[in-house]
Amino acid sequence: MRPRRLAGVVALTLSTLLHTLPSGAGESPTLSAGSRHTCAIDASDALHCWGDDARGQSSPPPLDPPGSGWRAVTASKGGCHTCGLTLRGEARCWGCDDHGETTGVPAVADDRWIALAAGNGFTCGVAAVDRAIRCWGRFLPQIPAPSQPPWYGPWAAVTAGEDWVCALRRSDRTARCRGWSAAGQAIVPERLANVAFDAVSAGFAHTCGVASEDRSVRCWGEDLFGEASAAPNAGGVVLSDDADTSSDDADTSVRVDPFPDRWGGVAAGARWTCGVRGAARSLRCWGLTRDYPDEAKAAYDEFGQVTAVAGLASAGACSFEAIAAGKRHACGVLRYSRGDDAHDDAGARGEAGDSTNEDGGAPPGHSPGAIVCWGSDSHGQASPPTGESDGVALPFRAWPSVAEAEDSGAGFLDLRASGAFDASRFTCDRTGVDDELTTASSSDAASRRTRAVAVAAAASAAMVVATAGPRGA
């Protein structure tokens, strides 16, 4: 293609999309991935959960009156319980209750909440009337007990990691965190203290968010495998399937992502992170990969949370509305899929997996609004319901309603994909994914091996200490 023609395409695309670019945020309140289960809300406001149900965490309670719906859900990271908000804003929790994390919901004015977040043995929520955060369940440092005055804000959103909580101020969307912080995950760095976020996502030892101003990913906390620092750089031009670069008239077949460095979502897992990037909302993941010696694999389970992305792209999972990260798996609501029904499950999984392999993703060929998952499927947490036969009214809700978002004051709807942008004209950019994985693997494989061995040894030592006496609070 001639340079002038390509420049013209770039300029035209920039002009067309400048005012419609989706902005960034963390995880949507309508999709949540926990340690070994996942929950999502469908088009009829019905709640569906799948995966581990040993403690009832995947069995939502019936609502009264029957047929009323849900507006938000949070699956516990590190624990075995789930909480949700009804359309009216009432909090409901189910699953394990070893610390009162499900039955200890405090009474608040008008019995209404705007946000909930579930961690390992605890739950926190933002009350609708006073916008204060109240937590119940397991003790966390600096988090008031239910009998104490709450954590006043006013707050717009809250996210829970395994043992800490982060929240966004309603006034300026700056982030503040409390709880256990062995890796600094609950201490917002000074450089980010005044940064506004549309939302943040707390994982298992690190926290990430998308800055409101420039839509960049900002992370803090543990960074052993690059999960807080190795967000991939932008890709280049992406050609549509029918592109013919040998022709001077091929301009209409070229589609350029004009904002490849702007992120439209981020989700923090256990030593890995995923996000959706650019106007095309392509999936990228980074952090923990398989490049470990055998002695480290027992300490750090890795099931393709990062490496499966290339397989998903090959299978046609191109563009995601929203994503959520659990401990060893992730799920996303598709915006657009170029899937081919001729593919089988093995082609969609990040490596050479099948529908029961833990190295996997999801079958290709799903329609927009369907959910695909990748990573560990040890308890079925990466095998979502697919449609009417499973009682699901597609599409799954990727975002809260306008009224719900305005009620909270959080920036969730700022990141919705622009209706004016046609993601179907983009190919699945597997080449960029492969290049990123190859570069990351070759550049610091030795250092990551060394760190993995060291951490494996430390983990073994910690296990010995833990078995010698009771755990601290």
Q: Which residues are 75's β-sheet partners?
A: 82
- Alpha-carbon distance of 210 to 304, in angstroms, equals 24
- Alpha-carbon distance of 339 to 359, in angstroms, equals 19
pTM of the prediction?
0.78
pLDDT tens-digit profile of 81-137?
999 999 999 999 999 999 999 999 999 999 999 999 999 999 999 999 999 999 999
- Alpha-carbon distance of 208 to 267, in angstroms, equals 7
What string of pLDDT tens digits covers the 473 residues of the chain?
Answer: 444 443 443 333 333 333 333 333 357 899 999 999 999 999 999 999 999 999 999 999 999 887 789 999 999 999 999 999 999 999 999 999 999 999 999 999 999 999 999 999 999 999 999 999 999 999 999 999 999 999 999 999 999 999 999 999 999 999 999 999 999 999 999 999 999 998 899 999 999 999 999 889 999 999 999 999 988 765 433 333 333 434 444 333 344 566 667 888 999 999 999 999 887 888 999 998 765 565 665 566 567 888 888 888 878 787 899 999 999 999 999 987 664 333 333 333 333 233 333 334 444 446 889 999 999 899 999 999 988 889 999 999 987 776 766 666 555 556 554 444 454 555 555 544 544 444 444 344 444 444 444 443 443 333 222 222 322 23
CB 227 within 8 A of CB 271: yes
- Alpha-carbon distance of 96 to 410, in angstroms, equals 29
User: Looking at 204-308, which runs of residues are DSSP E strands?
Assistant: 206-211, 217-221, 238-239, 254-255, 263-268, 272-277, 282-287
Residue 87 carries which DSSP code? T
- CA max distance for the chain: 74
Report how far apart, in Å, the C-alpha atoms of 411 and of each of 175, 209, 299, 353, 425 are. 13, 12, 37, 37, 28
Residue 7 carries which DSSP code? H
Q: What six digits make up the tokens of 84?
A: 């949700």
Residue 278 is predicted with a pLDDT of: 83
Whether CATH 2.20.25.90 fits 3-13+25-240+251-468: no
Residue 98 is predicted with a pLDDT of: 97
Residue 299 is predicted with a pLDDT of: 61
Domain range summary for the chain, segments of one domain joined by + = 3-13+25-240+251-468
User: Looking at 9-80, which runs of residues are DSSP E strands?
Assistant: 31-33, 37-41, 47-51, 70-75
pLDDT tens-digit profile of 347-371?
333 332 333 333 344 444 468 899 9
**Helix pair 430-468, 308-315: axis angle to 10 deg:** 140
